[in-house]
Amino acid sequence: MARNKKERSIGFPPLFTSFKPVGIGGRHLSKIVLTIDEYEAIRLADYEGYSHDDASKEMHISRSTFTRLIEKARGKIAQMIILGNMITIEGGNIHFRSNIIKCNSCGYMFNIEIDRELKICPNCKSTELFNLAGSFGHGKCCIEYFDNK
C-alpha cells in the first residue's frame, strides 16, 4: 500500500495557470497538468537559482524527493514545448506560505502573509480583490498547517 504524499510548502500561488501554443484553440490540444508543487520546484531551482538542497528545505521535503519532482516538472515542460501541448498548473498536496492579492479595479498585485486578510486595495481603495490562494481552494488550511509546524 502506498503511503500518503507529504504536504509541500509553497511560497505563493502562481500568477498564471495555463500556457499553450499561439494560434491553436485549447480544445484541440492535449493537456498536461503541472502540479503546484512541480511549479514551485521549477520556480525555486530554475527561476530563483536555489540548490536542490536549499529548495527541498524551503518546500519541507527531502532532497531526493525534490530532485524527482523537478525532473518530472522539467519533463512536462519539455513535452509542452516540443509537442505543442497545453500545460495547466493545478492540484498537488500543498499549502501556501504567502498569498497574492490582485485588485480587479486597478490591476495592482501584492504579496501578503497567508494569515492576513485584506478587504480594500491599498492602491485605489477598491473592494474588488481577487485572492489567488483562494482560487486554488487554499487559505484557512494553510494557516492551520503552518501554525502546527
**Summary mean pLDDT of the chain:** 89
pLDDT of amino acid 115: 84
Q: Are 139 and 114 in contact (CB under 8 A)?
A: yes
Give the pLDDT confidence of 14-43 residue by residue, as tens digits: 999 999 989 888 888 999 999 999 999 999
Q: Are 45 and 70 in contact (CB under 8 A)?
A: yes
Residues 12, 79, single domain; the answer is yes
| Overall pTM surpassing 0.75 (yes/no) | yes
C-alpha cell, 66: 525534490
Residue 2 in any domain: the answer is no
Residues 79, 107, single domain; the answer is no
- CA dist 28 and 123 (Å) reads 40
What's the whole-number mean pLDDT along residues 88-116? 90
Strand partners, 129: 103
What's the whole-number mean pLDDT along residues 78-102? 91
pLDDT exceeds cutoff 60 at 144: yes
Residues 21, 85, single domain; the answer is yes
Residues 37, 59, single domain; the answer is yes
Q: Are 139 and 133 in contact (CB under 8 A)?
A: yes
pLDDT of amino acid 61: 94
Residues 17, 70, single domain; the answer is yes
**What is the tally of structural domains in the chain?**
2
Closest CA to 61 of 93, 89, 90: 93
